[in-house]
Amino acid sequence: MAAPIIEVRETEAEVARELCSLVAKKANQAIEQKGVFTVGVSGGSLQKHLCNGLPGETTDWTKWHIFFCDERVVPFDNDDSTYKYYRDNLLGKVPLPKENLVPIDPSLPASEAATDYISKLRKVFPGTELPRFDMLLLGMGPDGHTCSLFPGHKLLDVTDVIVASITDSPKPPPQRITLTLPVVNNTACAVFMSCGESKAEILKRVLEGSEADPLPAARVRPTNGELHWFLDQSAAKLLKS
Ligand SMILES: O=C(O)[C@H](O)[C@@H](O)[C@H](O)[C@H](O)COP(=O)(O)O
């Protein structure tokens, strides 16, 4: 398990630029090595930064397969839909084939939407092994949640499925699907972006704490991969170094 690589930049805009350039670098390496790039994306402020910054990078978009680390089970015309954001702000700006941005089926109840998403993932990650994403792009909520894995929630212990559903999310909307921790920790490269003073205290707990029951974001420790944290100075201000 590699130690986290912590990158601190003065402003959120600089953090976003660095992040997008790392994503493109990893994409291009993966495409060169195996012809495809598999990436999981998240909502929150990350979606805006990725959709603004990635179109400026040089990469073969036809080789990208973009999944959702978690998704709210709401229709595609609802502003809570993370798919809606990427569809409206990335597809069309870059030559990513529409079918390579893989949405959930929001017409299904959450548990069925999770099962359906597993079969969509299996088209790109066939077999029964844990999927190994080239990269997962993650955010962290003020409570330390990541994906739709919330502190103290029983979903943190799920190991028998690669995508799980939640119907009592403490953050609305309550119905969601999420990658489970074994899949998150099987990625080749997990990357968090966290900016702003409101993240300073929780970041200190996540990155420097030694809690018996670690927060969800602190449980992201890829077993055979890299872990990056991209922070601005306000978020990093309580960290030791
Ligand atoms: O599913 C959600 O409700 C949000 O997408 C959430 O998980 C978000 O990713 C984090 O709260 C970080 O968001 P910020 O980076 O904007 O703080």
- Protein residue with its CA nearest to atom 10 in ligand 1: 141
What is the value of pTM for the model shown?
Answer: 0.98
Map residue 177 onto helix, strand or coil. strand
The predicted structure's pLDDT at residue 218? 97
| Amino acid letter for position 56 | G
The predicted structure's pLDDT at residue 3? 87
Q: What is the full DSSP assignment across 15-48?
A: HHHHHHHHHHHHHHHHHHHHS-EEEEE--THHHH
Centroid of ligand 1 to alpha carbon of 216 (angstroms): 13
Centroid of ligand 1 to alpha carbon of 139 (angstroms): 6
Q: How far apart are CA 85 and CA 101, in angstroms?
A: 11
Mean pLDDT of 17-27: 98
Hey, where are the domains in the chain?
Answer: 5-236
Cα angle value 83/87/88 (rounded, 5°) = 120
* Residue-wise pLDDT tens digits, 218-231: 999 999 999 999 99
Q: Could you tell me if the CB of 46 is within 6 A of ligand 1?
A: yes
| Amino acid letter for position 73 | V
The topology (CATH level 3) of 5-236 is Rossmann fold (3.40.50)
* Residue-wise pLDDT tens digits, 69-122: 999 999 999 999 999 999 999 999 999 999 999 999 999 999 999 999 999 999
Global ipTM: 0.96
Centroid of ligand 1 to alpha carbon of 140 (angstroms): 6
* Residue-wise pLDDT tens digits, 140-198: 999 999 999 999 999 999 999 999 999 999 999 999 999 999 999 999 999 999 999 99
Q: How far is CA 218 from the centre of its chain?
A: 14
